[in-house]
């Protein structure tokens, strides 16, 4: 139960923050909303990979996910959560 709340809270905070940043970028420049979204989500992805670099081998994670495409995505999400929690 606590993990579910943590996932929900983290997703809510990240989504809300992303929305505000996207709206701010769009209001401060002539950039369209889709470009602002691409910038924000790319930056978030780069930050996540950088933070997890010592804890997670991204190539191994992605290749295992492709090989085991029948495995439910929840196991991948749980793995990432446990990696972040152990940090």
Please, what is the Cα angle at 23 between 19 and 26, to 5 degrees?
140
* 39-76 per-position pLDDT tens digit: 998 888 888 777 766 666 656 666 665 555 555 556 66
* 11-30 per-position pLDDT tens digit: 898 889 999 999 999 999 99
Q: What is the dihedral of CA 24, 12, 60, 50, to 10 degrees?
A: 40
pTM, two decimals, is 0.55
């Amino acid at each position: 139960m606590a993990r579910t709340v943590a996932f929900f809270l983290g997703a809510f905070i990240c989504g809300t923050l992303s929305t505000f940043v996207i709206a701010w970028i769009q209001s401060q420049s002539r950039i369209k909303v889709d470009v602002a979204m691409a910038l924000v989500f790319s930056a978030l992805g780069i930050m996540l990979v950088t933070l997890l670099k010592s804890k997670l081998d991204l190539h191994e994670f992605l290749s295992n996910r492709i090989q085991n495409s029948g495995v439910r995505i929840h196991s991948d999400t749980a793995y990432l959560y446990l990696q972040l929690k152990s940090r």
